[in-house]
Amino acid sequence: MSKITTGTKEWAFKNMNIYTGCYNDCRYCYARIFNVGRFKRKSVDTWSQMDLHEKNFLQNHRKRQAKEGEDKAMYDYMFPTAHDIFEFNLDCCITKLWKLLSPGNTVLITSKPRLPCISEIMRQLLVYKKQIGFMFTITSTSTKKLRFWEPNAPLFEDRLNALQLAYHQKYITNVSIEPSLDKNPINIILKVAPFVSGKIWLGCMNWFGWIRKLGPQGEEAEKFYNFAENISKLPHIHKILTDISKLPKVVKDKIMLKDSIVNLYKRNNHRRVPQL
């Protein structure tokens, strides 16, 4: 049975980032909307340039002290949450991961994964294998959609390869399909499920006003926005959840709903999100 959760706070007690900006330049990125749209810390043109946050990078860490009654399945840290890991910043990211892991913290590494980066992280941090989990974001199988929404991120097959590698190396693997960019995410679910030892998280897109304002303009871009907006509406999401409820139990049991979907039901005054 699927559980309903309340966002990334279900995954880790603390977030850690060492850059402002992200080369992937995803059009729907909350960190981009927050830093560019709301607080003007960067511009649309400079968001993809990554500035090292020296204080966060240099900070050393102790083992996070657990509180009584807290959820033991949660990670101490999630890294990164507002940028990604690339070949060009891999050394800094591994150094930061080492600073988090070496005192004994558990870390959920989140990424639109590049195979060489994931492979090197596993090689250099092998001694901390039991403290590491992976959360790979895989939002679409379509190259056209990925190139629009996540211009500099790896394509579907590349991310699947990274997922397979981590799974075969016996790491805890999770997949986040948020925001789901395909009309029906079942295709992705079925392709990734055999390589997910943890959970598959499903969520939809939000913030369309900001996305349109900060993204490319014109007829072609508008088609992508309209499509994404339509598949993020309740009737369509409800249909997807109905389809998911018919999947084999072994797949269904891995699926969790993100708060973007739960809140969609709440906003539409539905009493209950359907059980999968």
Rule CB under 6 A: is residue 32 a binding residue for ligand SF4? yes
Rule CB under 6 A: is residue 42 a binding residue for ligand SF4? no
Q: How far is the CB of 40 from ligand SF4 (least distance, A)?
A: 17
Query: Given the rule CB under 6 A, which of 2-10, 81-89, 100-108, 254-262 is the region that contacts ligand SF4?
Result: 81-89
- State the DSSP code for 210: H
Are 178 and 149 a contacting pair, CB within 8 Å? no
Using CB under 6 A, which of 22, 93, 175, 204 touches ligand SF4?
Answer: 22
Rule CB under 6 A: is residue 24 a binding residue for ligand SF4? yes
Query: Given the rule CB under 6 A, which of 29-37, 181-189, 218-226, 265-273 is the region that contacts ligand SF4?
Result: 29-37
Query: What is the distance between the alpha carbons of residues 29 and 198, in angstroms, rounded to a whole number?
Result: 24
Rule CB under 6 A: is residue 26 a binding residue for ligand SF4? yes
Query: What is the distance between the alpha carbons of residues 200 and 239, in angstroms, rounded to a whole number?
Result: 18
- Closest alpha carbon to 31 in 210, 245, 169: 210
Q: Which lies closer to ligand SF4 via its Cβ, residue 196 or residue 205?
A: 205
Between helix 259-267 and helix 234-244 the angle, nearest 10°, is 130
Rule CB under 6 A: is residue 112 a binding residue for ligand SF4? yes
Binding mask 83-102 for ligand SF4 (x = CB under 6 A): xx------------------
Kindly give the residue spans of alpha helices, DSSP state H, lying in the chain. Answer: 30-32, 54-58, 90-101, 115-124, 143-149, 156-168, 186-192, 208-214, 219-231, 234-244, 249-252, 259-267
Q: How far is the CB of 15 from ligand SF4 (least distance, A)?
A: 11
Question: What does the binding site for ligand SF4 look like in residue numbers (CB under 6 A)?
Answer: 22, 24-26, 29, 31-32, 82-84, 112, 150
